Amino acid sequence: MELLRVSPVVGELAKRFTAAGHRLYLVGGSVRDALLGRLAGDLDFTTDARPGKVLKIVSGWADAVWDTGIAFGTVGASRGGTTVEITTFRSETYDRVSRNPEVTFGDTIEGDLLRRDFTVNAMAVDLTEQRFIDPYGGMDALLAGRLDTPAAPEDSFADDPLRMLRAARFESQLGFTAAPRVVDAMRAMAEQIERITAERVQVELTKLICGAHPRKGVELLVDTGLAEYVLPEVPAMRLEIDEHHQHKDVYHHSLVVLDQAIDLEDRDSSPDLVLRLAALLHDIGKPATRRFEPGGGVSFHHHEVVGAKLARKRLRALRFPKDVVEDVAKLVYLHLRFHGYGRGEWTDSAVRRYVTDAGDLLPRLHKLVRADCTTRNRRKAQALQRSYDDLEARIARIAEEEDLARVRPDLDGNEIMRLLGIPPGPLVGRAWRHLKELRLDRGPLTREEAEAELLRWARENGVEPPAE
Indicate the burial class of 277 (C-beta count within 10 angstroms; 0-12, 13-18, 19 or more).
buried
Q: What is the pLDDT of residue 344?
A: 61
pLDDT range class, residue 459, cuts 50, 70, 90: confident
Residue type, 233: E
User: For residue 302, is pLDDT > 80?
Assistant: yes
Q: Are residues 139 and 40 in the same domain?
A: yes
Question: Which residues, including other chains, have CB under 8 Å from residue 266's CB and lie 6 or more apart?
Answer: none
Distance CA 210, CA 213 (A): 8
Beta bridge partners of 245: none
- Average pLDDT along the chain: 87
pLDDT range class, residue 242, cuts 50, 70, 90: very low
**Residue 243 counted as domain residue:** no
Q: How many Cβ atoms from other residues are within 10 Å of residue 437's Cβ? A: 13
**Residue 46 counted as domain residue:** yes
Name which residue leads in pLDDT, 173 or 433.
Answer: 173
The mean per-residue pLDDT over the stretch 10-17 comes to 92
Q: What is the pLDDT of residue 359?
A: 87
Q: Are residues 192 and 321 in the same domain?
A: no
Of the residues 144, 162, 188, which one is the last residue of a structural domain?
144
Residue type, 112: D
**Domain at 157, CATH number:** 1.10.110.30
Span 274-284, pLDDT tens digits: 999 999 999 99
pLDDT-above-90 percentage for the chain:
55
Name which residue leads in pLDDT, 236 or 248.
Answer: 236
pLDDT range class, residue 342, cuts 50, 70, 90: low
Span 104-162, pLDDT tens digits: 788 889 999 998 999 999 999 999 888 999 999 999 999 999 999 999 999 999 989 99
The mean per-residue pLDDT over the stretch 45-54 comes to 94
User: For residue 376, is pLDDT > 70?
Assistant: yes
Q: Are residues 85 and 135 in the same domain?
A: yes
**Residue 257 counted as domain residue:** no
User: For residue 41, is pLDDT > 70?
Assistant: yes
Q: Are residues 279 and 377 in the same domain?
A: yes
Task: Tell me the whole-structure pTM to 2 decimals.
Answer: 0.81
User: For residue 245, is pLDDT > 60?
Assistant: no
pLDDT range class, residue 95, cuts 50, 70, 90: low
Of the residues 144, 179, 201, which one is the last residue of a structural domain?
144
**Domain at 116, CATH number:** 3.30.460.10
**Residue 448 counted as domain residue:** yes
Name which residue leads in pLDDT, 179 or 337.
Answer: 179
User: For residue 251, is pLDDT > 80?
Assistant: yes
Widest distance between CA atoms in the chain = 94
Quote the number of domains for the chain: 4
Q: Are residues 152 and 110 in the same domain?
A: no
Q: Are residues 140 and 153 in the same domain?
A: no
**Residue 249 counted as domain residue:** no
Distance CA 333, CA 324 (A): 14
Q: Are residues 270 and 397 in the same domain?
A: yes
Q: Are residues 149 and 62 in the same domain?
A: no
Of the residues 407, 425, 452, which one is the last residue of a structural domain?
407
**Residue 306 counted as domain residue:** yes
**Residue 456 counted as domain residue:** yes
Q: What is the pLDDT of residue 65?
A: 93
Q: Are residues 383 and 421 in the same domain?
A: no
Q: Are residues 13 and 130 in the same domain?
A: yes
Question: Which residues, including other chains, have CB under 8 Å from residue 365's CB and lie 6 or more apart?
Answer: 331, 334, 335, 358
Q: Are residues 177 and 108 in the same domain?
A: no
Of 93-97, 121-125, 382-386, which gets the smallest average pLDDT?
93-97
User: For residue 418, is pLDDT > 50?
Assistant: yes
The mean per-residue pLDDT over the stretch 55-68 comes to 92
**Residue 244 counted as domain residue:** no
Q: Are residues 151 and 131 in the same domain?
A: no
Domain that holds residue 113: 2-144
